[in-house]
Structure 1
Amino acid sequence: MSSAHPAEPDPAEAATAPLWRAVQAFRLVTLLYAVGQQIASVRYYENQWLSWFFIALMVIWSGISALLLAQVHGPGTARIRPLVVLGDHLLVLGLIAATPLVADYAWYHGHQPLPTTMWSANAVISAAILRGPLAGVASGLLIAATIITMRQQWGEDVWADATAPVLVSVGLALGLAADTARRAQEQLQRAVRLTAATEERERLARQVHDGVLQILSYIKRRGTEIGGPAGELAQRAGEQEVALRRLISEQAAGRETGETTVDLRPLLTAHATPRVVVSTPGEPVRIGRWTAREIAAAVAAALTNVDLHAGPEARAYILLEDTGTELIVSVRDDGVGIAPGRLVEAEHEGRMGVSRSITGRIAALGGTAELLTAETVGEGTEWEFRIPRT
């Protein structure tokens, strides 16, 4: 079933279209040179009328092939170009082989074949653009071998003739240029698609944050305050809020697919709620992907402790600073604080949330995690993570 939307242009076609148009100018120049060579050499031919017939055939084909190869996009472009390139080769090889029909051995043994070497290079160029450097080199070798065979130069003369090196070099250079253009076009289209997908994810994340997450947070808070049957509703709302925040965070972490660094800011701003305020720099804070995820996980663990221990009315504040040499992440709340000796007591009881989820993660990054307001009840709690940028 046909789609209602137009198909996306083939990257290979879009990349090589300028090359196809440009080489047709070369085809015109070489055609003029071939006609000039015919005018200068026709008096030495044995069959002059036949030579003019071959030249007319070359002129007609040059016009047809130039129009077909130079078109940018159109129905059947991918199917027509290989046929035109094949026709190029058949005509070039046929004209080279027909040279003895219009001139004697003494002439063609020491001169260019009938279509001239320059005009023959059009077939090599077309093959290189169509299929890459290997096809270009193969085409150059084929045409050069045909010319050498026709001129009977397989002896020592072959090393003094520049035909083969020139044709092979042209095929190699244009083939590499075409392949480079195709790769660049594919990378450009991937970047465009990635940018569009990123913008769409950011739009959806804003909508989720502005609407759904705030409602879930409100239901969780009010249900907890009301208690009873509403407490279960609050618990379910809290679970869905956490799941949505994790999804947004993972989407933000996956934006730079194929890159080794990510922007830390979206991983932290995903935690923003009416009770959690996040402040980050205006410019991207790009760090290693694994480092960013570990920092975000430590921040999530600190916020979990706020939800569990700081009190129902506590608010949390996340601050990210980039000094150039290190990252400083602060997670502060205005809750009830931590009772003296509570952290040591929790660790002895086997509760390793703080030591493993927070300090352990930051230590693994070569940084430090310091609890600035520890042992102080009623003044809230503040974690400060310092991670070197190395």
Structure 2
Amino acid sequence: MASVTEPDPAWAATAPLWRAVQAFRLVTLLYAVGQQFASVPHYTNQRLSWALIAVMAVWSGISAVLLSQWRIRHEPRVRTAVVIGDHLVVIALIFATRLVAPFDWYHGHQTLPTTLWAANAVVSAAILWGPFGGIGSGLLVSAAVITARAQWDFDVWRDATLPVLISVGLALGLASNTARRAHAQLQRAIRLTAAAQERERLARQVHDGVLQVLSYIKRRGTEIGGPTAELAQRAGEQEVALRVLISEQGEPADVGGVGEDLRPLLTAQTTPSVFVSTPGDPVLLGHWAAREVAAAVAAALANVVQHAGAGAKAYVLLEDMGDELIVSVRDDGPGIAPGRLAEAEGQGRMGVSRSIVGRIAALGGTAHLLFEAAPADGSPDEGAGAEWEFRIPLDRRQ
């Protein structure tokens, strides 16, 4: 036999079907041999009929072995050749009935290879080529049986051969396609799980080394100031980029091709001074909407870094209320003086109005600064902080 190799995953999906139909082949062979014992007294050439039954038995054994093997070289080609050979043997044996029996016999009885055994070719074609291949094979074998028995008259519509073979081909073809789709989904799930586990392993290693160093450089560079401030800024940018790389999924969570999970986009912004809390279940938005919300949160966190000081901490909370999303960004810095945002906008500084409020408004939502903390004398109150609240409506019907 040919050299051993690993089974093709695409073909392995239908392995249970191929093995099951070989048991069916054995049962149909036993039925055909039993039918031979009952019919041979009516044959005119009994020796030839037994020789043809021997051919049927030998071919059944060869085809059963080849179709059930999964570790042979060029397996798809071998299986295709066997299925084609199955049809040739079946059709040849069907027409050979005329050589062993008189017209009166084969016109009103089963052919030498019984209809049940001939169905093996239809079953194999259905598994190999799907429902269309199964139906085509059923039509071909049925046409051979009807022609060999000379039944091209009204009797053909009272015979069960045609509808039975076509039904078998259709049913097994659909089953094989379903098995292939299920196998493909299983393989994809296995790959995604393996990728997620590998990302988690790399994330732990990177967090214990590179991210901590980048965070330290950013913090110390900001504290020292001067020329090292640019180094701190670059280190902070690379820290964020690296966190995005190890936090985002390999593929966005997708529902109907238009949904993306907002959670990884927010958790990617986690740093030693930024804490993100999200629900346990996916929070799905359109791809553009999810990116806009994440960008608004990033802009709010950038303001915390710029105005609240190096030691300030920020907290991001994502809540799915069913009909709307609520995203809160709170810090423990000195807060924002009353009227400061309006003053900045009047001076032409559009960072908050465009990067935060404008993005959320474009999604049909609202962005509110819940409080602007400062004492009556106007001096900053250390630790008062500020909190943004974004509310984005959801339409679950979409």
TM-score by length of 1: 0.91
Bigger Cα displacement from structure 2, 252-261 vs 151-160: 252-261
**Deviation, structure 1 residue 56:** 1.2
Residues 83 and 124, structure 2, Cα contact 8 Å, conserved in 1: yes
- What is the CA-CA distance between 1:338 and the residue it aligns to? 1.7
**CA distance in structure 2 between the partners assigned to 1:252 and 1:171 by the alignment:** 42
Query: Is 1:286 the counterpart of 2:283 in the alignment?
Result: yes
1:1-390 paired onto structure 2 within 5 Å: 9-248=7-246, 251-252=248-249, 254-256=251-253, 260-281=258-279, 283-290=280-287, 291-374=289-372, 376=374, 377-378=380-381, 379-390=384-395
Relative to structure 1, the CA distance from residue 77 to residue 113 in structure 2 (aligned partners, 3 Å threshold; closer, same or farther) is same
Structure 2 SS opposite 1:20? helix
Name the CA shift for 1:176/1:280 in 2 (closer, same or farther; >3 Å).
Answer: closer
Distance change >3 Å, CA 211–CA 263, structure 1 → 2: farther
Equivalent pairs counted in the alignment come to 382
* 1:38 Cα offset (Å): 0.6
User: How many Å apart are 1:74 and its aligned residue?
Assistant: 3.2
CA RMSD of the aligned region, Å? 2.2
2:377: which partner in 1? Answer: none
Identity of aligned residues (%): 70
Deviations 1:133-183 (A, max 9, x none): 222111111111111111111122222222122111111111111111111
Contact persistence 2:263–2:282 (CA under 8 A): yes
Partner Cα separation in structure 2 for residue 254 and residue 211 of structure 1: 26
Determine if contact 1:280/1:321 at 8 Å carries over to the other structure. Answer: yes
Q: Aligned-pair distance for 1:72?
A: 3.6
Q: Which amino acid aligns with 1:43?
A: P
CA contact (8 A) 1:341 1:375 kept: no
2:83/2:121 contact within 8 Å kept: yes
3-state SS in 1 of match to 2:315? strand
* Runs of 4+ displaced beyond 6 Å: none
Structure 2, unmatched stretches of 5+, are 375-379
* Conserved 8 A contact 2:195-2:250: no
Find the residue that maps to 1:112 and give its secondary structure.
coil
Q: Report the CA distance shift for 1:288/1:40 in structure 2 as closer, same or farther (over 3 A).
A: same
5+ residue gaps, structure 1, are 1-5
**Partner amino acid, structure 2, of 1:328:** I
CA separation of 1:247 and 1:182: change in aligned 2, threshold 3 A: same
Query: 1:364 Cα shift?
Result: 3.1
Describe the SS at the equivalent of 1:372: strand
CA gap of 1:254–1:301, structure 2 versus 1, over 3 A, is farther
**Deviation at 1:246?**
4.0
Q: 1:253 and 1:94 mapped to 2: Cα distance?
A: 55
Where 2:108 maps in the other structure, the secondary structure is coil
Once the two structures are TM-superposed, the CA of residue 44 in structure 1 deviates from its matched residue by 0.5
Q: From the superposition, tell whether residues 248 and 355 of structure 1 become closer, same or farther in structure 2 (CA, over 3 Å).
A: farther
Which residue of structure 2 aligns with residue 3 of structure 1?
none
